[in-house]
A = this chain, B = another copy of it.
Amino acid sequence: MNEDREEKKERIKELLRRIDEEGEIGELKEEFKDLLGSISPLEIPMVEQEMMEEGVGAKEIYRMCDIHVELFRESVEDKFDLGDLEPGHPLKKLYLENEEITKSAKKLGLRVKNFEKGGEIGREFAELGQLAGTLNKVGRTHYTREEMLLFPYIERRGITSVPEVLWRKHDEAREGVKDLLGLLDRDNWDGKPPVEEIGEKANKVSQAMIDMVFRENNILYPTVKELLSEGEWLAIHEESGQIGYFEIEPKAWSPDAEPVQPYEISEGIKESQVEKLPQEIKGMVDLDSLESDDYNPAREGDHHLDFGFLNDTELTEIFRTLPIDVTFIDSNDRVRYFSGGERIFPRTKTVLGRPVQKCHPPSSVSVVNSILNEFKAGNRDEAEFWISMGPKFVHIRYFPVRNDEGDYLGTIELTQDIKDIRELEGERRLLDWD
């Protein structure tokens, strides 16, 4: 349907103009519904975006969104069948979270109606603040798990536009909640609360989040349910905990499979899978011309580390590039490694294999030994020093290095000039880069 998108956009604009002229939707609503129904729900955000860029006003876009969501809710049944998913399955957990998100978002919408009708203002604010705080967690749990754990698997299969569109919508929702929290913060008020703005923003956030639940339950989840193997879900499951969940207690899950990471997948979508994918995704993505991603980050001669792959050159150069000087002594107190580059305290190859005690002034050896003894005994996990050295403010830290079992492998010394770091002020974010 991509080829007639321009035409449809023109018809949408025409309808929006007429609604504007007539002052109400009235009988144009049905016509609008028919038109929107012919566009994939996943493509609509892109159409909205394009129309914004072409100068269509925000008010018109929002009106279109409203009609679209209404249409969407009416037309789709809950097609997503979770019947065969165990409680700990990552997809089941996402689905359960969506129920929680819906509940909180609906409460927010209801609360706004109270609020607009003029409820007890202090109480309403407290409730709105609490709900906004809860919904603020959606972005860093539910959405982040999708972005970091789920999306890579569909990207490998060549579907890159869907993750991108969804991520944009996630960010809009995140931004909306943050704005709402800002509006609710008394410190930002100019004397009295911006009641109208708060109402509008809360309504928008509620809508956006419910809208996203619909998109996910009816398009994204049926798609990934069809595409991902048990091993892929297991890999997602294993990594989920460190990101966290939204308002659910995660259940354990132990499928009979080995975890499969996205980089281990190089095949695209199978013919047999295409048939079973939801209609909406077929409207948005040309499944016949997808280019799967077969990039392998592991190469011959690489070291396979816990979290990735590096070769000797990369290792050497990464350590050289670090703005921290690293020295490592092994469990026998012998110097085993130090990083290159312009070091604060020079290190020479001649100290490799030397007992660390012999690398220090004799008068400080007893301190060196007592630090190491504390590390070896497991009594301490850090020793920290700082000194001024000309223009430098030198921060020196020692940390014991232990393996998974907690056995002492040695100690690292880190040296860093933190003068500039100490003088940073305010913030500089990625988008401030120039």
> Which residues of A pack against B, CB within 8 Å?
144, 148-149, 151-153, 155, 160, 163-164, 167-168, 171, 235-236, 238-239, 242-243, 261-263, 295-297, 303-310, 312-324, 326, 328, 330, 332, 334-340, 343, 346-354, 358-364, 367-368, 370-371, 383-388, 393, 395-397, 399-403, 409-410, 412, 414, 418, 421-422, 424, 427-433
Contact A168 B353 (CB under 8 A): no
Q: CB distance B424 to A421 under 8 Å?
A: no
Contact A383 B321 (CB under 8 A): no
**Is B148's CB under 8 angstroms from A401's CB?**
no
Which among A343, A351, A364, A403 has the greatest number of chain B C-beta atoms within 10 A? Answer: A351
| Closest B residue, CB atoms, query A393 | B424
Interfacial chain B residues near A401, Cβ < 8 Å: 314, 317-318, 321
Please, which residues of chain B bring their CB within 8 A of the CB of A148? 346, 348, 350-351, 359
Q: Establish whether residues B296 and A353, one from each chain, have CB atoms under 8 Å apart when the complex forms.
A: yes
In whole angstroms, what is the CA distance A264 to B324 when docked? 28
Contact present for A295 and B243 (CB under 8 Å): no
Which of B243, B261, B349 contacts A235 (CB under 8 A)? B349
CA distance A28 to B149 in the complex (A): 87
Asked if B403 and A313 sit within 8 Å, CB to CB, the answer is yes
Decide if B317 touches A315 in the complex (CB within 8 Å): no
Q: How far is the CB of A409 from chain B (nearest CB, A)?
A: 6
Bound form: Cα–Cα A354–B295 in Å:
8
SS class of chain A's interface: helix, strand, loop or mixed?
A: mixed
Question: Which of B312, B424, B430 is A304 in contact with, Cβ under 8 Å?
Answer: B312
In the bound complex, what is the Cα–Cα distance between A328 and B307 (angstroms)?
11
Residues in B neighbouring A388, C-beta threshold 8 A:
427
- Contact B350–A409 (Cβ < 8 Å): no
**Distance from A152 Cβ to chain B, minimum over Cβ atoms (Å):** 5
Nearest CB of B to A301, in Å: 11
Cα distance A322–B327 in the bound complex, in angstroms = 11
Most chain-B CB neighbours within 10 Å: which of A151, A343, A350?
A350
CB-CB < 8 A to A319: which residues of B? 305
* 22 A-B interface contacts by CB (under 8 A): A148-B351, A171-B362, A171-B363, A239-B350, A242-B346, A262-B350, A297-B335, A307-B347, A309-B336, A309-B337, A309-B352, A314-B409, A315-B315, A318-B401, A321-B399, A322-B414, A367-B431, A368-B430, A384-B428, A385-B429, A396-B430, A418-B418
A384 to B167 Cα, complex, angstroms: 25
Residues from chain B with a CB closer than 8 A to the CB of A338 are: 307-308
Most buried by B among A155, A297, A360, A397: A297
B243 touches A346 (CB 8 A): yes
Provided the pairs A362-B167, A428-B384 are in contact, do residues A149 and B314 lie with their beta carbons within 8 angstroms? no
Determine the distance from Cα of A431 to Cα of B366 in the docked complex, in whole angstroms: 9
Q: Give me the 3 closest cross-chain CB pairs, A-B, nearest first.
A: A263-B353, A308-B337, A239-B348
Residues from chain B with a CB closer than 8 A to the CB of A424 are 386, 393, 395, 418, 422
Residues of B within 8 A of A431 (CB): 363-364, 367
A337 and B310 contact, CB distance less than 8 A: yes
Quick check: A149 and B350 within 8 Å, CB to CB?
yes
Answer whether A149 and B336 are a contact pair too, CB < 8 Å, given A305-B312, A412-B318.
no
| Minimum CB–CB distance for A154 against chain B, Å | 11
Contacting pair B339 A307 (CB below 8 A): yes
Whether the Cβ atoms of A433 and B306 lie closer than 8 Å is: no
CB of A12, distance to nearest CB on chain B (Å) = 23
Of B262, B295, B317, B412, the residue contacting A321 (CB under 8 A) is B412
